[in-house]
Amino acid sequence: MSKLMKSASAAALGLLLVSCSAGNDKVDPSAIAAEEMAIEARAFLGRAESELAAMNKEAAQAFWNQATDITPETNAAAADAGAKATKLAVSLASESKKFDVAKLPPDLARKIQILRGGITIPAPSREGAAEELSKLTTDLDAAYGTGKFEYKGQMITLDEASTIIETSRNPNETKAVWEGWRTVSPPMKDNYAAMVTLANEGARELGYPSLDQMWLSNYDMPPEQMEAEVARLWGQVEPLYKELHCYTRMKLNQTYGDGVQPATGPIRADLLGNMWAQQWSSIYDIVEPEAAPLKYDLTQRLVEKGYTPVKMVETGEAFFVSLGLAPLPQTFWERSMIVRPEGKEVQCHASAWDLDDADDVRIKMCTEVNSEDFYTVHHELGHNFYQRAYKNQDFLYKNGANDGFHEAIGDFIGLSITPEYLKQIGLISNEEMPGPDSDIALLMQTALDKIAFLPFAITVDGWRWGVLSGETTPENYNQAWWDLRLKNQGIVPPAPRPADAFDPGAKYHIPGNTPYLRYFLSFIMQFQFHKAACEQAGWEGPLHRCSIYGNKEVGERFNAMLEAGASQPWPDTLEKFTGTRQMDGSAIIEYFDPLIVYMKEQNAGQSCGW
């Protein structure tokens, strides 16, 4: 123990002796021990946060360089930085095990728990393991980012393949492109399995039975309780998804016929307008309700109004600023990757970055001028405004209240991209404003993104939990993936899959090792936030017509939620903004209620389910 810590311990002991003597009580040895441990833990955490903050800046820059310019050199630098960062985090987490969190003050106990459970992919402490694990994760990320396949004599990227899936109505073409992208992932399988083995070894060293339990421990409740929460929330919204599945399948059957999409059973994955069948808005033309149509197409309006990728980002920033939040720093515009650069291999998967835990926030996107990316921009900026809001918190609190909060913020703002808002910013005219008879069309467009996504979100980590726990072995990776997709989504591949297929690896968040439960939680909470904000604003109309654009009173409470970061249990943060301590799917049901009624009428006589 250092001289400083010894002096502090002596002072604390003196205070305890004085207070006990004054009351003529005996000295409590356990109280003295607890006080000494608290003093030691506080000093340890001060050192840990300082070292982690410095390492985070170094690693973030290396990862940014690699993601925006994938070369052997940047891959090597990222792998080296990742190994160093993992070694440090694992070393500090292991060192923290000498402290009994049950005997520490709440603030210290919280930080210790964050330190132990906050490593996404922990490396074992044995020699060379961190370097091996970091190389595996970097190689997996690079393999996905540089993935291409041959189609009609040309090598095409995921961007190009996705455009075909979104726009083509030729089932032979969508099948070919869908299968083509999945030729990129089989080479990842062995590296992925090796990474799982190493990461589980690392998790066990930190006191967790497996990595899935370590991830689930980060929600201010025991892992088994969190799993029960997910099941409860899914139970609230599953009936809505089943109505959407039934309705969409009926429309696809009417379009393609029984030979392509049967009228009963699961839906063929490549027909849903998305490479992973996770969001279905690209097939709105097929499922458009027989109600008053919208008088505008947002993609078309963006193009006609001369929007560029940068102007879309500026528009997203302006929404946050309208709530009273400060504009983004000039460095954001100078350093972000908003479009795909020429002559470089890059990781196009949209993401938000915080490189210095202060003001160097950025986004990385290969932005295109369309409605999907217009919403994505708002989503990513939500991360950046959140990151900047909690910059004054201690390092271990510089995060979302839970990871679902971080994903929900931008999408919560996106729910205010209503026709009224689009009129306010000049994207549509008074004549194009949809009346109440167009509500079903508006809600259908939103449901194809929001409701279709929910079972996909629980499938990704449902599969991964099985892998990380050891229940799903490498030879069963693909079968387990499709078993879950059928169970949760009612989705099947367009044709039997090859024996060597590794279809989970065709989704970025698997080789990129991004936990996915956060997205499911965010899709629950964004509607919860939206309802609370609309109530704060005094809105009295339908929930789906409410926009908080320009409401600085809501913005003040919103910013207070962001500034709290991870400094308190997430139910405390949730309660301050919504008035409730429990995540709740009832706001989704309220939001989509008119559409539920409509789909039930349309589905009458159909054999729903699969």
pLDDT in tens, 497-552: 999 999 999 999 999 999 999 999 999 999 999 999 999 999 999 999 999 999 99
Q: Is 70 helix (H, G, I), strand (E, B) or coil?
A: coil
Tell me whether residue 519 is one of the annotated catalytic residues: yes
389 CB-near residues (< 8 Å, 6+ apart)? 325, 559, 562, 563, 565
pLDDT of residue 2: 39
pLDDT in tens, 543-593: 999 999 999 999 999 999 999 999 999 999 999 999 999 999 999 999 999
pLDDT value for 292: 77
What does the mean pLDDT of the chain come to?
92
Model confidence at 296, pLDDT cuts 50, 70, 90, reads: confident
544 is catalytic: no
Instruction: Identify the band that residue 27 occupies on the pLDDT scale cut at 50, 70 and 90.
Output: low
Angle (deg, nearest 10), helices 223-256 and 439-469: 130
Q: Could you tell me if 246 and 596 are in contact, meaning their C-beta atoms sit under 8 angstroms apart?
A: no
In the predicted model, is pLDDT for residue 24 greater than 80? no
Active site residue 407: yes
Tokens of 114: 């964050």
Predicted pLDDT at 490 = 98
The DSSP secondary structure of 412-467, one letter per residue, reads HHHTT--HHHHHHTTSS-GGG---GGGHHHHHHHHHHHHHHHHHHHHHHHHHHHHH
pLDDT tens for each residue of 345-381: 999 989 999 999 999 999 999 999 999 899 999 999 9
- Residue 458, phi then psi, degrees to nearest 5: -80, -20
Residue 290 predicted with pLDDT over 90: no
Q: How confident is the model at residue 406 (pLDDT cuts 50, 70, 90)?
A: very high
**pTM score, whole prediction:** 0.89
Question: pLDDT of 30-71, one tens digit each?
Answer: 778 778 889 999 999 999 999 999 999 999 999 999 999 999
Q: Verify whether residue 349 is a known catalytic residue.
A: yes
- Average pLDDT for 424-449: 92
* Average pLDDT rounded to a whole number, residues 247-276: 98
Model confidence at 311: pLDDT above 70: yes
> Domain coordinates of the chain in residue numbers?
3-140, 221-603
Annotated catalytic, 380?
yes
The answer to whether 43 is a known catalytic residue is no
Dig out the tokens for 345 from the structure: 């291999």
Q: Which of 379, 406, 530, 544 is catalytic?
A: 379
- Pick the closest to residue 85 from 61, 109, 55, 113 (CA basis): 55
Query: Annotated catalytic, 383?
Result: yes
61 membership: H or E segment, kind and range = helix 29-68
**Marked catalytic residue, from 519, 530, 587, 598:** 519
pLDDT band at 421 (very low <50, low <70, confident <90, very high): very high
Percentage of the chain with pLDDT > 90? 87
SS3 147: coil
Strands (DSSP E) along 96-174, which ranges? 148-151, 154-157
Instruction: Mark whether 277 is an active-site residue.
Output: no
| Active-site residue, selected from the candidate residues 76, 350, 358, 480 | 350
From the list 383, 406, 530, 544, the catalytic residue is 383
pLDDT given at position 186: 97
Query: Which structure tokens are listed for 44?
Result: 């340890």
In this structure, the strands spanning 267-268 and 491-492 are parallel
The pLDDT value given to residue 491: 98
Catalytically annotated residue among 59, 380, 508, 530: 380
- E-strand ranges in 345-428 read 351-354, 361-364
* Confidence band for 117, pLDDT divided at 50, 70 and 90: confident
Instruction: State the distance between the two ends of the chain, measured CA to CA, in whole angstroms.
Output: 64
Maximum pairwise Cα distance, the chain? 90
Contact 502, 186 (CB under 8 A): yes
| pLDDT score for 29 | 74
- 282-286, 294-298, 479-483, 523-527: which range is least confident on average? 294-298
Q: Tell me, what's the pLDDT at 379?
A: 93
Q: Which member of 245, 406, 509, 544 is catalytic?
A: 509
Contact (Cβ atoms closer than 8 angstroms) between residue 165 and residue 220: no
How high is the pLDDT of residue 191?
97
Q: How far is CA 416 from the centre of its chain?
A: 20
Among candidate residues 79, 142, 349, 530, the one labeled active-site is 349
Q: How far is residue 166 from each of residues 174, 285, 348, 496, measured CA to CA in Å?
A: 9, 11, 17, 22
In the predicted model, is pLDDT for residue 3 greater than 90? no
Higher pLDDT, 369 or 28: 369
Catalytic residue among 40, 205, 227, 407: 407
Task: Note the pLDDT of residue 26.
Answer: 63
Average pLDDT over residues 158-179: 96
